[in-house]
Structure 1
Amino acid sequence: MPLLENHLAVITGAASGIGRAIATGFAREGARVVLLDINEQGAAEAAREIREAGGKAESFGLDVTLREDCRAVAKTIADRVGQVSVLVNNAGINRRNAFTAEADAVIKDWQDIMAINLNGVFNVTHAFLEPLRASKGRIVNIASIQSFVHVRTPNSPAYTASKHGVLGFTRALAAELGKHGVRVNAIGPGLIETPLNEHVRNTNPQLVQIFLDHTPLGRAGKPEDIVGPAIFLASDLSSYVTGSIVMADGGYRAI
């Protein structure tokens, strides 16, 4: 029996990268998936590919920074699709300006990154809270190795702060929602090859090498490397797991 049969899973940032891979993997395991992304066309294309492969998928455009839009899309899904039982908060961005860079750029980085990476997780989770409570659902937040450390590469401190916040939010919700049967966990990816970091990887091989030199497995991850942990946390395989983070970082935090 597929691990996610009879589940309705919503994935943010699902037009590409990790979110798209998770949506595809969930559909293979029998879930009906709803792909949300500010890139509405990309989400629609990904949903179409899932349907063509025999899966069940819908998509909607969503800017996770807009709280009222999050509530509206949650209502639309409830009315048109069904009761959500799995939520994956994956939407996120990164910037690589140092804190000592030009002031306006640093301030904009902070505002933009926090709005998407942390406030966006709050907005979406709050919008879907009632169906998740009703279904005794599962929430999977995409955190980072930077939920623990600030990596030794040019990197915005806002990103590190936001991902620390995601892990803290995960633990706080797990403690509060456990009595409702809702499990809340996170995944901590290391360097994953996605469109989000493609330009940096292509133009700054030294940065990539810094990551690889600190990664026991000696390679960058692929979006598909996050799918297994996501299925585990969304399925009954992890029925007694909550408030945890599953690291998928090639061993980065081991050394």
Structure 2
Amino acid sequence: MALLQNHIAVVTGAGSGIGRAIASGYAREGARIVLLDINEKAAAEAAREIRDGNGSAESFALDVTRREDCIAVAKQVAAKVGPVSILVNNAGIARRNGMTGADAAVINDWEDIIAINLTGVFNVTHAFLPALRAGKGRIINIGSIQSFVHLRTPSSPAYTASKHGVLGFTKALAAELGKDGVRVNAIGPGFIETPLNEKVRASNPELAKVFIDHTPLGRAGKPEDIVGPAIFLASELSAYVSGSIVMVDGGYRTI
């Protein structure tokens, strides 16, 4: 039997990269997928791809920073698709600007990154929480190696703060929602080749080399590398796992 049969899974940032890979992986395991993305066209294309593979998928446009929109989408999903039992908070942005740049850029980075990467996780979770509590669901938040460390390579303190916040939010929710049978965990990707960092990889290959040289497995990750851990955390294979983060970083944090 498929590991996620009879589940309805919501994935944010599902139009590309890690979110798209997780959505496809969940569909292969029998879940009905709801793909949410600010890029409505990308989400629709990803949903169509799942349906073309005989999976079940619907897509909706969503800006996770807009709390009222999150609530409205949750109501739409409940009415059109059904009760959600899996939520993957994947939507996020990354910028590699430090704290000592131009004031306007520093402030803009902070506001945008925290709004999407941290407050967005809160907004979507809060909107779908009644369904998740009612169905003893599971929540998977996408953290980072920067949930623990601030990289020596150029990196935004706002991004590091947001991913530390995601891990803290994960632990707090796991402690609060355990009594409702809701499991809350996170995944900590390392250097994963996605559209999010495509321009940086193309313009600064030396930066990518720094990451890979520090990674014991000797390669960058692919979005598909996140799929197995995401299936594990959403399925009954992890029935007694909550409040944890599964690192998918090729061993980066071991050295």
TM-score range, shorter chain: over 0.9
Shift in Å at residue 152 of structure 1? 1.4
Partner of 1:29: 29
| In 1, Cα distance between equivalents of 2:185 and 2:44 | 27
Of 67-76 and 204-213, the range deviating more from structure 2: 204-213
Count of aligned pairs between the two proteins: 255
**SS at structure 1 position matched to 2:141:** strand
What TM-score do you get using the length of structure 1 for normalisation?
1.00
Q: CA RMSD in A?
A: 0.4
| In 1, Cα distance between equivalents of 2:33 and 2:86 | 9
| In 2, Cα distance between equivalents of 1:214 and 1:94 | 20
What TM-score do you get using the length of structure 2 for normalisation?
1.00
Q: How does 1:70-219 map to 2 (within 5 A)?
A: 70-219=70-219
Partner of 1:50: 50
| In 1, Cα distance between equivalents of 2:200 and 2:244 | 30
Tell me the alpha carbon deviations over residues 197-227 of structure 1, each in whole angstroms, 9 at most, x when there is no partner. Answer: 0000011011111101110000000000000
| In 2, Cα distance between equivalents of 1:212 and 1:150 | 16
| In 1, Cα distance between equivalents of 2:209 and 2:44 | 35
| In 1, Cα distance between equivalents of 2:213 and 2:164 | 24
**SS at structure 1 position matched to 2:19:** helix
**SS at structure 2 position matched to 1:128:** helix
Shift in Å at residue 127 of structure 1? 0.1
Partner of 1:40: 40
**SS at structure 2 position matched to 1:211:** helix
| In 2, Cα distance between equivalents of 1:231 and 1:152 | 31
Is contact 1:184–1:243 with CA below 8 Å preserved after alignment? yes
Q: How does 1:233-248 map to 2 (within 5 A)?
A: 233-248=233-248
| In 2, Cα distance between equivalents of 1:96 and 1:245 | 24
| In 2, Cα distance between equivalents of 1:80 and 1:50 | 18
**SS at structure 1 position matched to 2:186:** strand
- Which structure 1 segments of 5+ residues have no match? none
| In 2, Cα distance between equivalents of 1:207 and 1:103 | 25
Partner of 1:16: 16
Runs of 4 or more above 3 Å deviation: none
Tell me the alpha carbon deviations over residues 69-125 of structure 1, each in whole angstroms, 9 at most, x when there is no partner. Answer: 000000000011000000000000011111111111000000000000000000000
Overall identity of the aligned pairs, in %: 78
| In 1, Cα distance between equivalents of 2:30 and 2:204 | 40
Tell me the alpha carbon deviations over residues 38-97 of structure 1, each in whole angstroms, 9 at most, x when there is no partner. Answer: 000100000000000010000000000000000000000001100000000000001111
